Amino acid sequence: MAIDGGPRTAVVIGAGVVGLSTAWFLQERGVDVTVVDRGGVAAGASWGNAGWLSPGLAIPLNEPGVLRYGLRSLLDRDAPLHVPATPDVGLWSFLTRFALHCNWKSWGRAVQANLPFNEECLEAFDVLTGNGVEAPTTEAPIMAAFANSRQAVALLHELRRINDSGLEIRYAALEGDALREQAPQLSPRAGAGIRLDGQRYVDPGEFTNSLARAVTARGATIRSGFRVTGVRSEADGGLHVLSDSGDAIRADAAVLATGAWLNQLGKEWGVRVPVRAGRGYSFTVPTDEPVPGPIYLPAVRVACTPYQGKLRVAGTMEFRDADAPLYQRRVDAIIASAKPLLSGVSWEERTDTWVGPRPVTPDGMPLVGATRVPGIYVAGGHGMWGFTHGPATGRMLAEQITTGKQPAALRAFDPTR
């Protein structure tokens, strides 16, 4: 340990945007960092997501309407929210806890808790891109589109509730030609829209890899293929991070940022909140016209983003094992649901078909902070908003690790709650 009590060395377990952001901000505070991952950089949920930096839409998943929608869709194998028939007792226990949190009181508590992340998320990205992370962030409104104005009411209510919570979101309602002028990929069947201003997007894979390069350029080592089996406390107060190959890395602190796999190690350290994989799918398709900005189709839970001159289409929330193979029927369901509202899209020419596990908690709040074992910390459970909140998470957690003081913004996210 350093003379002032802070760690001199740290191992970050997980090379997604949350883990790498934590590593970068630890380096900013003078800590020597090693990053390990069982796969590699952006091998989990950080590559194929929609890449939205969207404080205006970073809404907790446990909104009451999700429960009603989920119950209606349980028997529909093609619904955007999919729970496969399974005897997995752990999954059904998790879903029961999630259902109990699907009320306005719990949702409002999660909105308030996430407020500091939403307020600071864009600034945290600016700190990274202004100091060595070369991947750009692009400012553009997100256009939420609906078949008719009646369907837009639920999102309008959510936006008003979030504004009442203290986060200012600027938005405007559009219809008809005014809607398609700003989003030419929308078909005539899209009759109403809500434009959310002040949002951004990135190429998530490019950004995460650029962040990894910046962390390496600052002196860190990133080790791929390092599957962590445990962390052992030493008599001198240090830690040994152990791998399945028998290798070990000594450090003063360790950060567990393994996304949907967080509980595999976290339970040993008092992390009792379950984290399940809410798997999302994406693919890339060419378009007849350039895509000016992100498009959101809330009624069918589909997010579209400009991506390398094409359109990345992402959707679904599938509660299946994190390591299960891609399920083609989910891709077909996304296409079938989005196709009526989009035009000029070459669906048959899709590439980069992907599935990734997003770490979901039952109460809509992530797990960020110290565990019951001195020197071991957790950063994860952000659900669909890990990319948006990743850098802000890393900055706040690095402050706690190096000062020993928990930032007020992290109190609600205590991993041992």
Give the start-to-end residue ranges of the domains of the chain: 9-413
For residue 71, what pLDDT band results from cuts at 50, 70 and 90?
low
Q: Alpha-carbon distance 417 to 385, whole Å?
A: 21
> What is the pLDDT averaged over residues 23-32?
98
The answer, yes or no, to whether residue 61 has pLDDT greater than 90, is no
pLDDT tens digit sequence for 89-114: 888 899 899 989 989 899 889 999 99
The 8-class DSSP code of residue 234 comes to -
How do residues 273-289 score in pLDDT, each as one tens digit?
A: 999 999 999 999 999 99
For 2, the token pair is 């350093």
Question: Is the pLDDT score of 78 beyond 70?
Answer: no
pLDDT at 58: 87
* pLDDT tens readout for residues 361-382: 999 999 999 999 999 999 999 9
Q: For the segment 168-194, what is each residue's pLDDT rounded down to a tens digit? A: 889 999 988 889 888 999 999 999 999
Contact 252, 376 (CB under 8 A): no
- Tell which CATH classification among 3.40.50.720, 3.30.70.100, 3.50.50.60, 3.10.580.10 matches the domain 9-413: 3.50.50.60
- How many other CB atoms sit within 10 Å of the CB of residue 81? 19
Please tell me the predicted confidence (pLDDT) of residue 221. Answer: 97
Q: What is the pTM of this model?
A: 0.92
Rounded alpha-carbon distances, angstroms, from residue 90 to 75, 94, 170, 191:
20, 6, 40, 42
Bridge partners, 347 (sequence order): none
Round to whole Å and give the CA distance between 282 and 303.
Answer: 9
The DSSP 8-state label assigned to residue 287 in this structure reads B
* Among 409, 379, 400, CA closest to 391: 379
Mean pLDDT in the chain?
Answer: 92
pLDDT band at 271 (very low <50, low <70, confident <90, very high): very high
Tell me the β-bridge partners of 351: 284
Mean pLDDT value across residues 213-221: 98
C-alpha 285/C-alpha 8 separation (Å) is 46
**pLDDT attached to residue 165:** 80
The structure tokens listed for 180 are 């398609």
Q: How far apart are CA 170 and CA 195, in angstroms?
A: 8
Q: pLDDT-derived band of residue 1, with 50, 70 and 90 as boundaries?
A: very low
User: What span, in angstroms and rounded, lies between the C-alpha atoms of 257 and 14?
Assistant: 5
CB 390 within 8 A of CB 122: no
Contact yes or no for 165/323 (Cβ under 8 A) = no
pLDDT given for residue 72 in this prediction: 56
The total number of residues shown for the chain amounts to 417
Q: In angstroms, rounded to a whole number, what is the distance separating the alpha carbons of residues 312 and 292? A: 13
pLDDT at 67 over 90: no
Q: Are 291 and 185 in contact (CB under 8 A)?
A: yes
**Type of residue found at 144:** A
> Confidence band (pLDDT; 50, 70, 90) for 3?
very low
In the block, residue with structure tokens 């992907």: 354
Distance CA 317, CA 281 (A): 8
Q: Which of 391, 365, 43 is nearest to 226 (CA)?
A: 43
